[in-house]
């Protein structure tokens, strides 16, 4: 008998729920999944759709309050649900293994990378430590790490995120398992690194022909990596299809919605900007440096080099313009935003509407009112102990304006498409998307002329993200406020920005018109960045 | 009639000399066996080693082991020979002559002569040293050496008790050379003529002494070694005695006494004493400047209850005078009892019909002071007197309240003589004039008594003095404490001394059953 | 470990001692007691007192007195005890030795018991063992030393007579006797730390066992024992180092009480009698020594932590 | 608030804690009226009585009714402990949050100094302060408050720092709010909760610290009914009648346990951990 007949993984009619103080919470409902050898099944779904629970269920690593139905989970011919813990621990890591979302947290901070790789080989291949370390080096070389021997000896905090994830992958492949579960393996990584990891994955997948369950929230990404895609909505698979077919002719409305929600650079959401002579803001070689010289440095006669957040940034912003800023984490996008809103000290000059601003002291009430910022995490940017009324009441009270405050707040709530009675709620009574709308409302209550959006959609699900963007664009049309839109999602920014600024390690690489970003004469880094971006699904699926 | 007096003195000397050889006249006294290490528990640190500056019992004990005085105090409160073999006073008791033992040597081998005695007393009397003995050794004007073995004391006024006074704990004989030389060396080293020699000295932990082979009495001491272990916690020292870790407890509380009483292998020791805890009035501060107020308060005291509360019954009722039957020349007055009605009447007379409020200060050591204060507080309530008890650390008390305050608790060891205690606390020229009573008639009585030899006459004088105190109440003395101690049965030749600060361990010995024997 | 890190910690330690010295000196200056009276006692004549004050420089301005004293301390001269007239240094350091014996044994006992208790509680979370440990630790942290000590002496020493009730024998002099007398004090003084640390270990371990990397380790199919000890415990114990070091301050406090009750001639008792007798030089030196001990222990702990966990040494 | 209480009572610690602390406060508030005898009335004939129908917990060395003294002492003991903790916490919190808000060198200086003070064991610090001010309950209270301040400053600072980093604070700054509003309305409400937890647990330390001070003769003074003092006074009568010592010791332990439990309960209720 050949394994090719029996699928590597077969989940049939499987349901899962969690017991909670207030009754049962269903997580997965009667799911059927099969993955054959060499096949990649993509599992897509938004947060709370139960995709991670599915992974845990397959790995048989469920919390104590989990309740399963009779459904079966088989790995090859073995019924995983029949295995006891000890038997499972022989299967885990040997016959099936897992790659996690964030390599930073999935590696033990105090153990050498080598040990964390070798321990699997020792456990499952019965190698001696020496053998395991030698084998380990080979594996690290295999995942494209230049200096494997040295890597083995390093501690997690001594290597980059990409390198960490390569080690994790090497560990997953270490025992040539039949099945590997990839749980959003690139989400925590920068665009370019993510691309490299994806390539590595494809390569290893091809070599080993391992069956893969690839969990992601990113349809576009799956459209490239998976052979088949299962769409998961609230614990139910609404559609499961060959990738190409799924994208060409989605049947289920939810699938359609997801595809529609994925940003498409060619669908411009912002109308062209009518040129006005004088810029609203002009930033002139603005730099931000962190840290201060400590007495120890002077004692040891070390010259002290501060951490550079921004290096002499210069850029203009027209009234009503939407400027996108893209770049990896640590490229200084947010630092710039913080500087412009007086959250960071800075050297250099910001000219706002002709008025020079050289430091915090120059940021008068007027400036504060005109320049508003919206943060990435709505649940962190809304004070958990204040009601919406107070949260939104502040700008009103602070910047004045006509009309009864409470009425103004209510009308603003309606403008951000939230029911007026939310005014007396606490943030924790709202969903993520609703919270972000409140944050937006707070920013616009002062009729700002410049709104800085710092990654405001990256914490949201695709569909929510889309609606928030719509709202943002609508407000842009109505108020004519200029935006600085900071994101790492290049597809999105190409949709909504007039111009795009690319930043790298604190430097401003270049600024180009959104339409011209793809031109061949762009800077190398820009081109690298765009190359790394997964083009949206359907352009791919002709 | 000079002859009579001679005879009297002669007889005292004889008697005391005898007493020295047989410390306790008792039949069935087994003969002492030499050897062994005696482990004594003391309740406070031996902070001061300097024999002229010691202040508390453990220090007195240490000094007694290492040094000798001219005389020492018998359990009968009479003077016994120590370095002085015999003594004699002149007609009017203003000049005394002491004959020193020949060929006594200090621990370092140098001989101890009259010169050392003279030097020692000059040191004691030197105000710069501020030795407690200075106020207690009697009205000495000058000390001189008649010859190598004879010392003559010339007094400023006649003083019958000199031989006893010279037995005072601080009146120790030290080498003239040390006094002239490095006097402070006595703070950390010792060189005396005592029965034991210093081995090691750790103030907060233990003091170790060993037998002095050249002691003037070839028979004693019997012990090879004595260790003083410092136990700040009473419970601990009692437990250790029961566990056999120590052989003797120098000072014991009533409750621990009850706990040890009847335990096999343990003898509890008890002796009636003139030790008392009192409530002092600043007789120069209102309202206590009015004798009626003082007497009123005295009348609120239920003395039987006091004896219970303070001593658990191991004591005797006090009559607001510092003397009791354990002192010589004592004759009891009619006992004052609680009488609230009379107290109230007196207060009314004194213009305080609704009583008054006062703050009673008690130092935190020993705890008995607070107990007295708290008990008095409750008793005084009945007469409408509100007392707020203020407890403070002993050091602060000495610094701020003692001899200055208006209303505070005192605590005193029994003194060797009635004169001793009266001159220490209550006469106008008292060393520690706590009450500022300053009653000249009273002073006169005490002074006459100290120059009188005739027992009956003296007794009469002291009784008058007592009556005066009992009437004016410069201080409430509600109860006297028995002194309590305990020892293992294997320790012998020791009994507790009414004075509480005298130990005579050179007579103590361990029988074969003692763990440290051999 | 970076040189600058060590340098920073050393400097910090010295700064600590400086602050403590100022504090202690300040307090002792205001103490309501006349040093001269303390030394000469109630019988002193005014002249004698004044002479002594002059000689002791008690009439100098405070800052000058501080400089004299601090200078002395730096030259390892802690002055003369007012109570005993002995030099303070030697006496206190021998006392410190005694206390350290007590403290070190207590620490050892604590580690031997607390860590396993914590582990068991964490592993059998919610089970009987966990509840038992939890209960014990609650009782443990809620009993003041003097109560535990009294009960211990009452039962173990007096009632059953298993151990000597009090006293101290240097281990060098009589090892068995010394240990016998140390068992009770050591146990009493370590009870509260055992309770505290076992709880810490438990909660730390519980947290660590919920981290991604432990989950990852499990999903690698590693043996549960390896997951617990190699991946979990190691990281759980790191913070415990700091906690234990901080508890040393508490331990030193407990030593004061225990030494008083068990009549152990340690630094705690020297301090108590010094405080009661207003023996300023001893108080000053004693507090300095205790603070020094504490900061040295914490210094060592920080270095150890930095050495074990390479991440945190640049903070 | 109600749902918070619900969560608190659902945790076993929270439930027990509330129960015990509740009982204690009944004693604190009503103790005065509940006492069957005057806490200081001496009965020369009823000394060292074992627990009986008349004297439920027996009588002490002066024939005073122990139950009455316990009830009466609840007020002084517990209120003192709570007060000391609150004062210490407030002092520490102000120091810590202030330091965190100032940041930079000022913060460094303050915190280093606080660390330095922490090098003196809190019991010892309390001892020094008491012997400095004179030994009575009021000073003991102050001493403990002072002894608590450094560690509370440390804790509240770290809490304040985490809050300071929150984006809603950044938002307020960017909005141009005054520091007054930021500290009081944005930061404080979020800082308080964890500090309250710590405070509750510290009350139990305070109770024990008080007891220990009294035991060493530096806390409350006779004839006060402070529990710690009762224990230390009772020690010398231990072998005559152990219950004089037993009851107050038990009371101290129970109180400490109660506040410990309550504190842990609050912590779990405030941030429910997995």
Q: Per the CB < 8 Å rule, is B239 touching C158?
A: yes
Asked if the C-beta of C266 comes within 8 angstroms of chain B's C-beta atoms, the answer is: no
- A46 found inside a domain: no
CA distance B460 to B466: 10
pLDDT at A31: 92
Which residues in chain D are closer than 8 Å to C272, comparing Cβ atoms? 127, 216
Domain boundary residue among A174, A198, A222?
A174
Biggest alpha carbon–alpha carbon distance for chain C: 86
Kindly report, residue by residue over A253-293, the tens digit of the pLDDT.
999 888 888 888 888 888 888 777 788 999 998 998 887 66
CA distance C182 to C179: 5
B/C touch flag: 3 or more CB pairs below 8 Å = yes
Residue of A nearest to C12 (CA): A296
Neighbours of chain A (3+ CB pairs under 8 A): C, D
DSSP line for D66-87: HHHHHHHHHIIIIIHHHHHHHH
Contact pairs from chain A to chain C, CB under 8 Å: 85
The shortest CB-CB distance from D118 to any of C139, C249, C260 is to C249
pLDDT at C68: 87
Query: Is residue D117 a contact partner of residue C18, using CB atoms and an 8 Å limit?
Result: no
Peptide bond into B366 cis (omega under 30): yes
Query: How far off is chain C from B399, nearest CA to CA, in Å?
Result: 6
The shortest CB-CB distance from B234 to any of D135, D222, D236 is to D236
CATH architecture of C89-308: Orthogonal Bundle (1.10)
Structure confidence at residue D46 as a pLDDT band (50, 70, 90): confident
Angle at which helices D227-234 and D66-74 cross, to 10°: 140
Is the per-residue pLDDT at C63 higher than 90? no
- Cα-based distances in Å from D104 to C147, D101, D109, D114: 45, 9, 9, 16
Query: How far off is chain A from D166, nearest CA to CA, in Å?
Result: 6
User: Which chain D residues in 80-139 lie under 8 Å from chain A, judged by CB atoms?
Assistant: none
User: Which chain C residues in 90-119 lie under 8 Å from chain B, judged by CB atoms?
Assistant: 91, 94-95
CA distance A386 to A429: 12
Kindly report, residue by residue over D135-160, the tens digit of the pLDDT.
778 888 988 998 899 989 988 888 88
Peptide bond into B287 cis (omega under 30): yes
Q: Which positions in chain D have a beta carbon within 8 angstroms of at least one beta carbon in chain B?
A: 40-42, 44, 47, 61-62, 131, 134-136, 217-218, 221-223, 233, 235-240
* % of chain D surpassing 70 pLDDT: 97
CA distance B459 to B55: 30
Structure confidence at residue D220 as a pLDDT band (50, 70, 90): confident
pLDDT at D1: 55
Q: Per the CB < 8 Å rule, is C45 touching B187?
A: no
The shortest CB-CB distance from D176 to any of A384, A386, A398 is to A398
Instruction: Among A430-439, B37-46, C158-167, C216-225, name the one with the lowest average pLDDT.
Output: C158-167
Closest CA to C150 of C159, C137, C162, C141: C159
Query: How far off is chain D from A62, nearest CA to CA, in Å?
Result: 13
Structure confidence at residue D108 as a pLDDT band (50, 70, 90): confident
Neighbours of chain C (3+ CB pairs under 8 A): A, B, D
Domain boundary residue among A154, A174, A194?
A174
Kindly report, residue by residue over B225-257, the tens digit of the pLDDT.
999 998 877 778 888 898 888 999 988 888 889
Helix (H) or strand (E) holding B134: none
- Dihedral sign (CA B430, B434, B436, B441): negative
Query: How far off is chain B from C294, nearest CA to CA, in Å?
Result: 24
Is the per-residue pLDDT at B342 higher than 90? yes
A/B touch flag: 3 or more CB pairs below 8 Å = no
pLDDT at B8: 40
Mutate which of B268, B308, B361 to disrupt the D interface (most D C-beta within 10 Å)? Answer: B308
Is the per-residue pLDDT at C176 higher than 90? no
- Quick one: average pLDDT of C57-66? 80
Residue of B nearest to D45 (CA): B305
Closest CA to B342 of B388, B292, B386, B285: B292
Q: Per the CB < 8 Å rule, is C8 touching A120?
A: no
pLDDT at B24: 46
pLDDT at B6: 37
Which residues in chain D are closer than 8 Å to B258, comparing Cβ atoms? 239-240
pLDDT at C247: 87
Q: Per the CB < 8 Å rule, is C211 touching A89?
A: no
Residues A312 and A169 grouped into a single domain: no
ipTM over 0.90: no
The shortest CB-CB distance from C86 to any of B132, B203, B245 is to B203
Closest CA to D13 of D269, D272, D202: D269
Query: Is residue B259 a contact partner of residue B384, using CB atoms and an 8 Å limit?
Result: no
- Quick one: average pLDDT of B495-500? 90
pLDDT at C73: 87
DSSP D59: B
Residue A389: is it exposed, middle or buried by C-beta count within 10 angstroms (0-12/13-18/19+)? middle
Structure confidence at residue C42 as a pLDDT band (50, 70, 90): low
How high does pLDDT run on average in chain C?
Answer: 85
How high does pLDDT run on average in chain B?
Answer: 88
Residue of D nearest to C250 (CA): D121
- A433 found inside a domain: yes
Query: How far off is chain D from A413, nearest CA to CA, in Å?
Result: 19
Is the per-residue pLDDT at C275 higher than 90? no
Instruction: Among A537-541, B92-96, C97-101, name the one with the lowest average pLDDT.
Output: A537-541
Kindly report, residue by residue over D178-199, the tens digit of the pLDDT.
888 888 888 888 888 888 888 9
pLDDT at A17: 93
CA distance B408 to D202: 38
Structure confidence at residue B17 as a pLDDT band (50, 70, 90): very low
Domain boundary residue among A174, A198, A217?
A174
Asked if the C-beta of A518 comes within 8 angstroms of chain D's C-beta atoms, the answer is: no
Helix (H) or strand (E) holding A15: strand A9-20
- Cα-based distances in Å from A388 to A383, C223, C269, C293, D64: 9, 50, 60, 53, 60
User: Which chain A residues in 355-374 lie under 8 Å from chain D, judged by CB atoms?
Assistant: 363, 365, 368-369, 371-373
Residues A150 and A287 grouped into a single domain: no
The shortest CB-CB distance from D175 to any of A338, A384, A395 is to A395
Query: How far off is chain C from B385, nearest CA to CA, in Å?
Result: 30
- Cβ count within 10 A of residue B488: 23
Q: Which residues pair with A182 in a beta bridge?
A: A99, A214
User: Which chain C residues in 2-31 lie under 8 Å from chain A, judged by CB atoms?
Assistant: 3-4, 7-8
pLDDT at B36: 93
- Quick one: average pLDDT of B181-192? 90
Helix (H) or strand (E) holding A262: none
Is the per-residue pLDDT at B177 higher than 50? yes
Domain coordinates of chain C in residue numbers? 3-74, 89-308
- Dihedral sign (CA A19, A23, A26, A27): negative
Structure confidence at residue C33 as a pLDDT band (50, 70, 90): low
Which residues in chain D are closer than 8 Å to C294, comparing Cβ atoms? 119-121
Structure confidence at residue C262 as a pLDDT band (50, 70, 90): confident
Q: Per the CB < 8 Å rule, is D119 touching C257?
A: no
Structure confidence at residue C315 as a pLDDT band (50, 70, 90): very low
- Quick one: average pLDDT of B448-459? 91
What is the C-alpha R_g of chain B?
23
Length of chain C: 315
The shortest CB-CB distance from C146 to any of D215, D253, D274 is to D215
- A524 found inside a domain: yes
- Quick one: average pLDDT of D13-26? 90
- Dihedral sign (CA D213, D218, D220, D221): positive
The shortest CB-CB distance from C213 to any of A97, A108, A155 is to A108
- Output the domain CATH number for residue D130: 1.10.3720.10
What stretches in chain A show pLDDT beneath 70? 1-5, 292-297, 299-302, 536-542
- A310 found inside a domain: yes
Q: Per the CB < 8 Å rule, is D189 touching A383?
A: yes
If one counts the domains in chain A, the total is 2
- Output the domain CATH number for residue A371: 3.40.50.300
The residue range of the domain holding D233 is 2-270
If one counts the domains in chain D, the total is 1
A/C touch flag: 3 or more CB pairs below 8 Å = yes
Q: Per the CB < 8 Å rule, is C142 touching D253?
A: yes
Length of chain D: 274
Q: Which residues pair with D66 in a beta bridge?
A: none
Query: How far off is chain D from C50, nearest CA to CA, in Å?
Result: 24
The shortest CB-CB distance from C263 to any of B132, B187, B230 is to B230
Mutate which of C124, C214, C221 to disrupt the A interface (most A C-beta within 10 Å)? Answer: C221
- Dihedral sign (CA D267, D269, D273, D274): positive
Peptide bond into D223 cis (omega under 30): yes
pLDDT at B364: 76
- Cα-based distances in Å from D233 to A209, B238, D220, D242: 82, 17, 11, 12
CA distance C117 to D258: 22
CA distance A37 to A214: 14
Q: Which residues pair with A463 in a beta bridge?
A: none
User: Which chain D residues in 161-220 lie under 8 Å from chain A, judged by CB atoms?
Assistant: 166-168, 170-177, 185-186, 189-190
pLDDT at A3: 44
Contact pairs from chain B to chain D, CB under 8 Å: 60
Query: Is residue C168 a contact partner of residue C264, using CB atoms and an 8 Å limit?
Result: yes
Query: Is residue B218 a contact partner of residue B87, using CB atoms and an 8 Å limit?
Result: no
- The strand pair at A72-75 and A78-79 is best described as antiparallel
Query: How far off is chain B from C203, nearest CA to CA, in Å?
Result: 39
The residue range of the domain holding A505 is 281-292+306-532
Q: Per the CB < 8 Å rule, is D131 touching C278?
A: yes
Query: Structure pTM?
Result: 0.82
Query: Is residue B518 a contact partner of residue B92, using CB atoms and an 8 Å limit?
Result: no
pLDDT at C43: 57
């Amino acid at each position: 008998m050949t394994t090719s007949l029996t699928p590597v993984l077969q989940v049939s009619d499987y349901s899962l729920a969690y017991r909670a103080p207030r009754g049962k919470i269903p997580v997965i409902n009667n799911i059927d999944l099969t993955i054959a050898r060499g096949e990649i099944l993509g599992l897509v779904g938004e947060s709370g759709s139960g995709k991670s629970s599915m992974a845990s269920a397959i790995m048989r690593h469920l919390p104590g309050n989990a309740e399963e139905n009779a459904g079966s989970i088989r790995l090859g011919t073995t019924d995983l649900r029949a295995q006891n813990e000890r038997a499972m621990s022989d299967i885990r890591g040997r016959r099936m293994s897992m790659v996690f979302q964030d390599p930073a947290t999935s590696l033990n901070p105090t153990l050498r990378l080598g040990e964390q790789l070798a321990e699997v080989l020792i456990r499952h291949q019965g190698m001696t430590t020496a053998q395991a370390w030698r084998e380990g080096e080979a594996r690290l070389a295999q995942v494209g790490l230049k200096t494997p021997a040295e890597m083995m000896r390093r501690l997690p905090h001594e290597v980059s995120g990409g390198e960490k994830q390569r080690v994790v992958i090497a560990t997953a492949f270490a025992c040539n398992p039949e099945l590997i579960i990839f749980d959003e393996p690139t989400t925590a990584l920068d665009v370019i690194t993510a691309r490299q990891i994806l390539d590595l994955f494809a390569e290893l997948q091809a070599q080993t022909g391992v069956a893969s369950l690839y969990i992601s929230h990113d349809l576009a990404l799956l459209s490239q990596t998976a052979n088949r895609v299962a769409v998961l909505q609230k614990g139910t698979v609404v559609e499961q299809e060959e990738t190409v077919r799924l994208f060409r002719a989605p049947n289920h409305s939810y699938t359609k919605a997801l595809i529609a929600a994925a940003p498409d650079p060619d669908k411009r959401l912002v109308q062209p900007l009518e040129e006005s002579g004088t810029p609203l803001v002009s930033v002139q070689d603005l730099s931000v440096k962190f840290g201060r010289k400590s007495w120890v440095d002077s004692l040891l006669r070390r010259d002290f080099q501060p951490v550079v957040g921004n290096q002499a940034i210069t850029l203009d912003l027209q009234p009503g313009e939407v400027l996108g800023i893209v770049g990896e984490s640590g490229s200084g996008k947010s630092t710039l935003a913080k500087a412009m809103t007086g959250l960071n000290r800075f050297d250099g000059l910001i000219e706002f509407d002709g008025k020079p601003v050289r430091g915090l002291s120059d940021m008068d009430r007027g400036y504060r009112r005109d320049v508003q910022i919206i943060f990435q995490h709505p649940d962190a940017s809304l004070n958990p102990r204040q009601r919406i009324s107070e949260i939104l009441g502040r700008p009103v009270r602070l910047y004045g304006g006509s009309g009864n405050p409470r009425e103004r707040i209510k009308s603003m709530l309606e403008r951000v498409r939230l029911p007026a009675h939310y005014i007396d709620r606490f943030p924790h009574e709202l969903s993520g998307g609703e919270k972000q709308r409140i944050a937006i409302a707070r920013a616009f209550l002062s009729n700002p002329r410049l709104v800085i959006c710092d990654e405001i959609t990256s914490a949201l699900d695709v569909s929510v993200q889309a609606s928030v963007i719509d709202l943002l664009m609508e407000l842009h049309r109505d108020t004519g406020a200029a935006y600085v839109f900071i994101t790492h999602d290049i597809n999105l920014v190409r949709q909504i920005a007039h111009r795009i600024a690319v930043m790298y390690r604190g430097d401003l690489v270049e600024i180009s018109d959104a339409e011209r970003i793809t031109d061949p004469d762009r800077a190398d880094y820009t081109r690298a960045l765009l190359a790394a971006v997964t083009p949206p699904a359907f352009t791919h699926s002709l | 009639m000079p002859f009579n007096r001679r005879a009297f003195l002669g007889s005292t000397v004889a008697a005391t000399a005898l007493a020295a050889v047989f410390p306790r006249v008792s039949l069935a006294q087994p003969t002492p066996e030499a050897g062994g290490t005696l482990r004594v528990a003391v309740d406070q640190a031996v902070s001061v080693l300097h024999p002229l500056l010691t202040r508390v019992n453990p220090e007195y004990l240490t000094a007694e082991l290492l040094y000798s005085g001219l005389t020492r105090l018998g359990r009968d409160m009479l003077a016994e020979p120590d370095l002085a073999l015999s003594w004699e006073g002149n007609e009017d008791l203003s000049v005394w002559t002491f004959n020193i033992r020949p060929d006594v040597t200090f621990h370092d081998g140098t001989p101890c002569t009259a010169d050392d005695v003279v030097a020692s007393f000059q040191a004691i009397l030197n105000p710069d040293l501020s030795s407690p003995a200075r106020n207690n050794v009697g009205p000495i004007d000058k000390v001189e050496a008649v010859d190598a073995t004879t010392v003559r004391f010339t007094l400023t006024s006649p003083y019958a008790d000199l031989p006893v006074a010279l037995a005072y704990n601080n009146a120790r004989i030290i080498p003239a050379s040390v006094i002239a030389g490095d006097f402070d060396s006595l703070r950390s080293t010792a060189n005396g003529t005592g029965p034991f020699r210093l081995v090691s000295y750790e103030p907060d932990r233990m003091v170790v002494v060993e037998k002095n082979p050249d002691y003037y009495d070839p028979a004693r001491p019997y012990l090879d070694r004595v260790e003083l272990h410092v136990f700040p916690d009473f419970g601990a020292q009692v437990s250790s005695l029961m566990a056999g870790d120590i052989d003797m407890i120098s000072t014991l509380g009533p409750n621990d006494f009850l706990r040890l009483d009847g335990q096999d292998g343990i003898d509890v020791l008890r002796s009636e004493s003139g030790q008392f805890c009192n409530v002092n009035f600043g007789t120069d501060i209102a309202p206590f400047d009015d004798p009626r107020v003082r007497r009123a308060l005295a009348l609120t005291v239920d003395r039987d209850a006091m004896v219970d509360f303070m001593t658990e019954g191991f004591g005797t009722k006090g009559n607001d005078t510092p003397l009791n039957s354990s002192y010589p020349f004592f004759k009891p007055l009619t006992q004052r009892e609680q009488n609230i009605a009379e107290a109230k009447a007196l207060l009314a007379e004194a213009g305080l019909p609704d009583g008054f409020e006062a703050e009673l200060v008690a130092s935190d050591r020993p705890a008995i002071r607070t107990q007295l204060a708290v008990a008095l507080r409750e008793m005084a309530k009945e007469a409408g007197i509100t007392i707020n008890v203020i407890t403070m650390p002993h050091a602060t008390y000495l610094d701020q309240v003692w001899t200055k305050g208006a209303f505070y608790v005192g605590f005193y060891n029994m003194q060797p003589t009635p004169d001793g205690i009266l001159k220490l606390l209550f006469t106008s020229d008292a060393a520690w004039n706590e009450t500022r009573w300053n009653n000249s008639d009273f002073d006169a009585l005490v002074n006459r008594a100290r120059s009188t030899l005739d027992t009956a006459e003296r007794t009469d004088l002291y009784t008058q003095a007592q009556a005066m105190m009992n009437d004016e109440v410069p201080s409430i003395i509600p109860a006297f404490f028995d002194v309590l101690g305990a020892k293992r049965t294997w320790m012998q030749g020791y009994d507790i001394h009414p004075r509480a600060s005298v130990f005579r361990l050179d007579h103590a010995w361990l029988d074969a059953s003692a763990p440290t024997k051999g | 470990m970076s040189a600058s890190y060590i340098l920073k910690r050393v400097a910090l330690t010295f700064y600590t001692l400086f602050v403590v010295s100022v504090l202690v000196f300040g307090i002792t200056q205001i103490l309501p007691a006349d040093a001269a009276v303390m030394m000469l006692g109630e019988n002193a004549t005014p002249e004698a007192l004044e002479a002594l004050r002059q000689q002791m420089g008690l009439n100098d301005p405070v800052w000058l007195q501080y400089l004299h004293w601090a200078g002395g301390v730096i030259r390892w001269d802690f002055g003369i005890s007012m109570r005993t007239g002995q030099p303070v240094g030697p006496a206190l350091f021998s006392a410190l030795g005694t206390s350290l014996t007590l403290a070190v044994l207590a620490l050892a006992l604590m580690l031997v018991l607390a860590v396993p208790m914590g582990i068991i509680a964490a592993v059998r979370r919610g089970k009987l063992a966990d509840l038992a440990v939890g209960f014990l630790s609650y009782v443990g942290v809620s009993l003041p030393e003097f109560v535990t000590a009294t009960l211990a002496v009452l039962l173990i020493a007096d009632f059953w007579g298993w151990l000597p009730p009090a006293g101290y024998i240097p281990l060098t002099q009589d090892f068995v006797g010394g240990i016998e007398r140390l068992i009770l004090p050591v146990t009493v003084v370590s009870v509260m730390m055992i309770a505290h640390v076992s709880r810490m270990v438990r909660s730390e371990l519980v947290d660590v066992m919920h981290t991604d990397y432990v989950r990852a380790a499990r999903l690698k199919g590693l043996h549960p024992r390896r997951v617990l000890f190699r991946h979990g415990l190691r990281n759980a114990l790191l913070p415990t180092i700091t906690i234990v070091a901080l508890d040393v301050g508490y331990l030193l406090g407990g030593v004061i009480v225990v030494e008083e009750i068990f009549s152990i001639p340690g630094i705690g008792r020297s301090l108590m009698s010094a405080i009661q007798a207003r023996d300023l030089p001893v108080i000053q030196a004693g507090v300095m020594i205790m603070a020094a001990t504490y900061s040295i222990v914490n210094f060592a702990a920080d270095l150890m932590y930095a050495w074990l966990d390479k991440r945190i040494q640049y903070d | 608030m109600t749902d918070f209480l619900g969560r608190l009572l659902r945790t076993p610690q929270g439930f027990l804690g509330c129960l015990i602390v509740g009982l204690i406060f009944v004693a604190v508030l009503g103790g005065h009226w509940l006492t069957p005898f005057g806490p200081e009335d001496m009965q020369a004939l009823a000394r060292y009585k074992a627990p009986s129908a008349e004297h439920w917990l027996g009588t002490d060395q002066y024939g005073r009714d122990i139950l009455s003294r316990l009830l009466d002492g609840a007020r002084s003991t517990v209120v003192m402990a709570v007060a000391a903790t609150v004062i210490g916490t407030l002092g520490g919190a102000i120091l810590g949050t202030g330091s965190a808000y100032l940041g930079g060198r000022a913060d460094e200086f303050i915190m280093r100094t606080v660390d330095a003070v922490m090098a003196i064991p809190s019991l010892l610090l309390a001892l020094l302060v008491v012997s400095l001010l004179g030994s009575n309950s009021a000073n003991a209270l102050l001493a403990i408050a002072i002894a608590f301040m450094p560690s509370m400053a440390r804790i509240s600072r770290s809490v304040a720092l985490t809050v300071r980093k929150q984006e809603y604070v950044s938002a307020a700054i960017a909005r141009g709010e005054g520091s007054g509003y930021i500290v009081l309305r944005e930061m404080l409400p979020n800082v308080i909760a964890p500090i309250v937890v710590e405070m509750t647990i510290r009350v139990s330390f305070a109770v024990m610290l008080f007891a220990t001070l009294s035991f060493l003769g530096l806390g409350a003074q006779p004839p006060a009914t402070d529990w710690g003092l009762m224990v230390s006074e009772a020690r010398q009568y231990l072998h005559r009648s152990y219950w004089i010592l037993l009851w107050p010791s038990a009371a101290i332990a129970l109180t400490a346990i109660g506040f410990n439990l309550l504190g842990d309960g609050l912590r779990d209720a405030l941030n429910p951990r997995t």
